[in-house]
Amino acid sequence: MKIENQKRTRSKLTWLEFFTEVKEFYELNGCLPAKDLTDTHEKRLQIWCNNQKQLFKDNKLSADRVQMLLGISSEILKDRRTSLWDNTFRTLKVFFQENGVLPTTLSKDSLEKKLAGWVQTQKLVKKDGKMNLEREKLLLEFLPTFFQENRGHGYSDDEWAENFGEFKKFFELNNRLPSKYSINKDNKEELILANWVGTQRLNYRNKNILPEREKLLLEVYPAFFIVREMKRRYCVSKRRNKPKF
């Protein structure tokens, strides 16, 4: 097998370093590191790949890392002992845990689009009465509103109302919108709300938001849909006015 001439000699590599070396290996050889390799370093890469599969199986791999790994090869996270359905379902759960929303076909991200298509397929299979009862149970345990008709970017009416209530409480308590860049980075609730706010803005820009929802959001904060643009202009203005040394 081909591999870079310059190998790292450190006993421990970071996740990103392992990722880079596996990617380079795949680009050079057209395959992932295998069990029968004799090179010690290549064996380490193969073990690392297996560890990523296990983390993915245990829902302990972040959505960003899942996407990066799938960018190398669609085979890298597949467990031959489980079905394609199971693997896709795990990927969906990781996405939902990270974003607090189901994937949408409006996204520019290829992985999210594929997941959104898979979600729609499950709903159609259920509607046609052809869904496996065990799979239906798994989907409902994951998200009780999974099969409800969505009215805009991944949210049923009940789910949207619940998220809106949480958003309104947050705004009244903090007098600001939830932010992904909050000082309190461990606050997962704020991150989920920030993603939800971003979703509402995306729906608004795409003219895909219900009038009653738009009205409710503007009642909480009249500048709800223009804050991001104002912030961008403010940042640009600051850069322009920055003194040169």
Q: What residue ranges do the domains of the chain occupy?
A: 1-81, 83-147, 151-245
Distance CA 119, CA 140 (A): 12
User: Greatest CA separation found in the chain?
Assistant: 70
Concatenate the DSSP letters of all residues of 162-217 into one string.
HHHHHHHHHHHHHSS---TT-S-TT-HHHHHHHHHHHHHHHHHHTT-S-HHHHHHH
CB 196 within 8 A of CB 167: yes
pLDDT truncated to tens, each residue of the chain (245 aa)?
Answer: 554 444 444 457 899 999 999 999 989 888 888 877 677 888 899 899 989 988 988 888 888 898 899 889 878 887 766 678 888 898 898 888 877 778 877 777 888 888 988 998 998 888 888 888 888 999 999 888 788 765 444 555 667 788 889 999 999 999 999 987 777 666 778 888 888 888 888 878 877 787 888 889 999 999 998 855 444 443 344 444 554 44
